[in-house]
C-alpha cells in the first residue's frame, strides 16, 4: 500500500507536456497538433524539441481533430491538445464519427479541466467532458491525479492503440505520487486501505480524498481511498470489491455529478453490488471567476465535502435506509492486484 | 411491383486502371450507374441523385490511370488515397471499388443490409477493401484528407497523392473552410479536392438553401490552384486530373481544387437535375425504366410464380 506525502505543488498540464516529450523520444511517429494555446497546454515542450513533428492548426478544433484522423490513418500517433471546453465539445461530432467510429489511434489532451482554471471563468472551466467522452465507444478516458501521474498516463495512452482522451488541469495542485507509485492504465489503485467507507476519486480530488481519510481516521473511521484514474474502461473488480468490503461509497471528481466518474461507479454498483453512494462534484451549475482555491471551496470540491459525504454514506448503510445492509460475505471476485483483502 | 419482381443481374466485368478514350469511360460510367440503380432498388433506401451525378468523375478518376492503387493489395503502402467526404454518395464508391476489383461485384447486392460491408454510409469498421475512412458527417472527410496529405508530404516525404470529393452543399459546413485554410497553409500540392457542384441539396437548389457562390473565388482567395470543368465531360475531367498531377510533379506549393459542374441524377431522364432525388431510391417501376434507359441487357420483369 503506497504511503503518500506532499512533494510540492505542480500543474498536471506540466506532466502532459513532459510525457509528450518522452513519447517523442521513444517513437518517431508521435506527432502533435497545436490549437493556438500551445504554451498553455504545454505542448510547447514537444514543439521546441521536435519542430518537424509539430503542426500548428490554429483556432480550429474541429479541423485539428479530423486532421489527426488523417495522420492516424497514415500510421502516425497524433496528439491534439486544447482546453477541454473546446476539444471535447466543439469537436464532439468529429470525435464521435471520425475518431471513435473510425476507431483510429488519435489522442486528445483536454486541459484546463474543472473549476481550478480560476479567473478565466465558466466558459473555460470544462466540467462536462467526462460525460461526453465516456459515452463514446472505443474510447479510453483517463483522469490522472497529479503531475507525475499525468506524465505516466500521457505516455501510457501513447503506448496503447486506440482513441484516447486525457484530462488535466491548469492550476498548481498537490504533487504526491512518485516514479515508483503503481500506475497501470485500466487499473484503479488503492492508495489507502480501509474497511468502513470507500472514497473513490479521480484527478485532483484524490489528494482531497486522502486528506478526508486522515480526518476520518481521527474519528475512528477506516476509509479506503481508490484512485480511479481510468474512467473508461473502468476497473470494475476493484470498485465492486471495495463496495463489498466497505458497504458505503463516496465518489469525488472535479466535474458535474451527472454522468461523470461517480455516475460510472454507480452504474457498476447498481448492477453488481448496490450500496449507498454519495456523490461529491459540481452540482448542476456552471463555474465562475475566482481564485482556484476559493472556487474549489465554493463548489464543495475539498476534503470537507468528502468527509461529510462519508459520514452520510456510512449512516445510510448502518440504518439500512436504502434497504441494503452491510454485507456479511464477500462474493466471488478476484481482488485486484495489490488489494489486501 | 416489388424489387423481387425484377430480374437483377450484376455483370462481373472488372475494369483496368489505364489511359482510356471517352467512349470507354462512357461505358464504364454506364455500368456504374446501372450498379447504383440495382443496389438502391434492392436496398429499398439510399441516395440516388448524387451517386448517379458523380459516376463520370469516379469512372475517370479510378479507371483513367490517374490514381495509383492495387485492388489485390488494397492497403499497399504506395497507393494514392481517395476520401469520399460526401459519404452519402457511397453507392457510387462501392460500385467503383467493385468494378476495380477490390471485392466481388455480387457483394453490391448487400448494400444497407444487416452485417453488410456496404453500410448505409461508409463505415471503416466493416473492413471493406479500398475504403480508407468512415465519412458522412459532412465536412469531416476533407479534413481527414488534409491530414493524410500532410502526413505524406511533410512526415513521410512520399510522392503519394490524396484525392477527395465533397458536395457543394457540404461547403456550407464551416469546418470545410478550416480544412481549406490548412491545406493552403501547408502547401499541400499533393491534395486534389473535387467539388461535386450539382447545385442541389436536400431542401432545394443550393442558392435558395444557403448560397456558397462564388466557389472558385473563395478557393482562389484561400490559395488554391482552381480548375473548373463539366463533370460529365470525360476529356475535361481528364485534362483537370492531368493538370493536378502536373501541379504535384512541379511541386507548385498549392493544393488543387477541381470544381466539377454536374447534374444530380445524370443518366436517368426522370431524375436528372431534380433535387428531390437527393435521398430516395427508385421504386421497382422506376428502376425498371432507369435500367432500360441505361441499356441494361438483363432487366426484365419476372412473374410472381418464378420468384
| Residues whose CB is less than 8 angstroms from the CB of residue A51 and which lie 6 or more positions away in sequence, other chains included | none
> Domain segments of chain B: what residues?
3-302
**Minimum distance, in Å, between the CA of residue B191 and any CA atom of chain A:** 12
| Residue B83: closest C-alpha in chain A | A70
Helix (H, G, I), strand (E, B) or coil at B259: strand
Average pLDDT for A74-89: 97
Helices B140-150 and B174-185 cross at an angle (nearest 10°) of 10
C-alpha A110, offset from chain centre: 11
Helix (H, G, I), strand (E, B) or coil at A26: helix
| Grid cell digits, residue A169 | 488541469
> Domain segments of chain A: what residues?
9-175, 189-319
* Residue of B135, B235, B59 whose CA lies nearest to B67: B59
Q: CB contact, 8 Å: A63 with chain B? A: yes
* Residue of B88, B99, B104, B107 whose CA lies nearest to B45: B88
The yes-or-no answer to whether A9-175 and A189-319 have a common fold is: yes
Helix (H, G, I), strand (E, B) or coil at B6: strand
Q: CB contact, 8 Å: A31 with chain B? A: yes
Is the CB of B143 less than 8 angstroms away from the CB of A66? yes
pLDDT digits (tens, 9 = 90+) for B280-307: 999 999 999 999 999 999 999 997 665 5
Q: Which fold has domain A189-319?
A: Rossmann fold (3.40.50)
| Grid cell digits, residue B292 | 432500360
Q: Which fold has domain B3-302?
A: Rossmann fold (3.40.50)
Q: For residue B123, give the nearest of A29, A78, A101 by CB distance.
A: A101
CA distances to A253, A323, B70, B83, B271 from B50, rounded to whole Å, are 48, 60, 26, 16, 10
pLDDT digits (tens, 9 = 90+) for A1-54: 678 999 999 999 999 999 999 999 999 999 999 999 999 999 999 999 999 999
Quote the pLDDT of residue A3. 83
Quote the pLDDT of residue A322. 52
| Grid cell digits, residue B187 | 502547401
Q: CB contact, 8 Å: A76 with chain B? A: yes
ipTM summary value: 0.96
Mutate to test the interface with A, among B140, B141, B153 (most CBs of A within 10 A): B140
Tell me the β-bridge partners of B70: none
Residue A285 has pLDDT above 70, yes or no: yes
CATH 3.40.50.2300 fits A9-175, yes or no: no
pLDDT digits (tens, 9 = 90+) for B156-205: 999 999 999 999 999 999 999 999 999 999 999 999 999 999 999 999 99
Q: For residue B134, give the nearest of A52, A74, A101 by CB distance.
A: A101
**What does R_g of chain A's alpha carbons equal in angstroms?**
19
CA distances to A24, A164, A228 from A186, rounded to whole Å, are 23, 12, 9
Is the CB of A31 less than 8 angstroms away from the CB of B155? yes
Mutate to test the interface with B, among A30, A63, A163 (most CBs of B within 10 A): A63
Is the CB of A71 less than 8 angstroms away from the CB of B175? no
Is the CB of A69 less than 8 angstroms away from the CB of B143? yes
Q: What global pTM score does this model have?
A: 0.94
Residue A332 has pLDDT above 80, yes or no: no
Q: Which of residues 87-106 of A touch B (CB under 8 A)?
A: 93-94, 96-98, 101-103
> Which residue is it, cell 500540392?
B189
| Grid cell digits, residue A55 | 503542426
Average pLDDT for A70-93: 97
Is the CB of B133 less than 8 angstroms away from the CB of A73? yes
Contacts of A28 in chain B (CB under 8 A): none
Go through B159-168 and write b for each residue having 16 or more CB atoms within 10 A of its CB, e for each that does not: ebbbbbbbbb
| Residues whose CB is less than 8 angstroms from the CB of residue A313 and which lie 6 or more positions away in sequence, other chains included | A197, A248, A249, A250, A276, A277, A278
Average pLDDT for B216-228: 98
Question: Quick check: A202 and A113 in contact, CB under 8 A?
Answer: no
Amino acid at each position: 500500500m503506497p504511503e503518500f506525502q506532499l512533494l510540492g505543488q505542480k500543474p498536471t498540464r506540466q506532466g502532459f507536456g513532459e510525457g509528450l516529450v518522452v513519447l517523442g523520444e521513444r517513437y518517431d511517429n508521435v506527432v502533435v497538433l497545436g490549437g493556438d494555446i500551445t504554451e498553455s497546454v504545454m505542448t510547447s515542450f514537444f514543439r521546441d524539441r521536435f519542430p518537424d513533428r509539430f503542426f500548428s492548426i490554429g483556432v480550429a478544433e474541429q479541423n485539428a481533430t479530423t486532421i489527426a484522423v488523417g495522420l492516424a490513418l497514415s500510421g502516425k500517433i497524433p496528439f491534439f491538445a486544447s482546453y477541454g471546453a473546446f476539444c471535447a465539445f466543439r469537436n464532439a461530432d468529429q470525435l464521435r464519427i471520425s475518431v471513435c467510429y473510425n476507431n483510429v489511434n488519435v489522442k486528445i489532451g483536454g486541459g484546463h479541466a474543472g473549476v481550478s482554471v480560476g479567473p478565466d471563468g465558466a466558459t473555460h472551466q470544462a466540467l462536462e467532458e467526462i460525460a461526453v467522452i465516456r459515452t463514446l465507444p472505443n474510447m479510453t478516458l483517463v483522469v490522472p491525479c497529479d503531475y507525475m501521474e499525468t506524465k505516466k498516463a500521457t505516455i501510457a495512452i501513447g503506448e496503447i492503440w486506440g482513441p484516447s482522451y486525457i484530462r488535466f488541469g491548469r492550476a498548481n495542485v498537490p504533487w504526491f505520487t512518485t516514479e515508483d507509485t503503481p500506475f497501470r492504465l485500466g487499473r484503479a489503485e488503492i492508495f489507502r486501505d480501509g474497511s468502513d467507507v470507500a472514497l473513490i476519486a479521480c484527478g485532483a480530488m484524490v489528494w482531497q480524498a486522502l486528506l478526508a481519510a486522515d480526518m476520518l481516521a481521527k474519528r475512528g473511521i477506516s476509509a479506503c481511498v481508490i484512485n480511479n484514474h481510468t474512467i473508461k474502461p473502468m476497473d470494475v473488480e476493484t470498485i465492486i470489491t471495495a463496495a463489498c468490503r466497505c458497504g458505503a461509497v463516496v465518489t469525488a471528481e472535479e466535474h458535474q455529478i451527472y454522468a461523470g466518474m461517480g455516475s460510472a461507479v454507480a452504474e457498476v454498483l447498481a448492477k453488481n453490488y448496490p450500496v449507498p453512494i454519495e456523490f461529491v462534484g459540481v452540482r448542476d451549475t456552471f463555474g465562475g471567476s475566482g481564485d482556484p482555491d476559493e472556487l474549489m471551496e465554493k463548489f464543495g470540491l475539498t476534503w470537507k465535502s468528502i468527509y461529510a459525504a462519508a459520514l452520510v454514506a456510512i449512516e445510510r448503510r448502518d440504518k439500512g435506509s436504502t434497504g441494503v445492509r452491510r454485507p456479511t460475505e464477500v462474493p466471488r471476485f478476484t481482488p485486484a492486484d495489490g488489494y489486501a483483502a | 411491383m416489388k424489387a423481387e419482381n425484377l430480374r437483377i443481374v450484376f455483370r462481373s466485368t472488372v475494369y483496368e486502371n489505364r489511359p482510356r478514350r471517352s467512349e470507354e469511360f462512357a461505358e464504364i460510367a454506364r455500368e456504374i450507374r446501372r450498379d447504383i440503380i440495382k443496389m438502391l432498388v434492392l436496398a429499398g433506401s439510399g441516395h440516388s441523385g448524387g451517386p448517379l451525378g458523380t459516376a463520370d468523375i469516379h469512372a475517370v478518376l479510378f479507371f483513367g490511370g490517374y490514381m495509383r492503387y492495387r485492388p489485390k493489395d488494397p492497403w499497399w503502402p504506395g497507393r494514392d488515397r481517395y476520401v469520399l467526404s460526401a459519404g452519402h454518395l457511397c453507392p457510387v464508391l462501392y460500385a467503383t471499388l467493385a468494378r476495380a476489383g477490390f471485392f466481388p461485384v455480387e457483394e453490391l447486392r448487400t448494400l444497407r443490409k444487416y452485417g453488410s460491408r456496404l453500410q448505409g454510409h461508409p463505415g471503416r469498421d466493416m473492413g471493406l477493401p479500398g475504403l480508407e475512412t468512415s465519412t458522412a458527417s459532412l465536412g469531416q472527410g476533407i479534413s481527414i484528407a488534409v491530414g493524410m496529405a500532410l502526413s505524406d508530404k511533410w512526415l513521410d516525404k512520399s510522392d503519394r497523392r490524396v484525392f477527395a470529393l465533397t458536395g457543394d452543399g457540404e461547403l456550407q459546413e464551416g469546418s470545410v473552410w478550416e480544412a481549406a485554410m490548412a491545406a493552403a497553409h501547408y502547401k499541400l500540392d499533393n491534395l486534389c479536392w473535387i467539388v461535386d457542384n450539382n447545385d442541389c441539396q436536400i431542401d432545394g437548389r443550393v442558392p435558395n438553401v444557403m448560397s456558397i457562390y462564388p466557389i472558385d473565388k473563395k478557393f482562389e482567395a484561400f490559395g488554391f490552384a482552381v480548375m473548373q470543368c463539366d463533370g460529365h465531360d470525360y476529356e475535361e475531367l481528364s485534362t483537370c486530373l492531368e493538370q493536378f498531377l502536373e501541379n504535384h510533379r512541379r511541386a507548385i506549393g498549392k493544393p488543387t481544387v477541381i470544381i466539377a459542374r454536374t447534374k444530380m441524377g445524370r443518366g436517368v431522364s426522370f431524375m436528372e437535375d431534380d433535387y428531390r432525388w437527393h435521398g430516395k431510391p427508385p421504386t421497382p417501376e422506376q428502376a425498371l425504366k432507369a435500367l432500360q434507359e441505361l441499356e441494361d441487357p438483363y432487366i426484365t420483369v419476372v412473374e410472381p410464380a418464378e420468384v
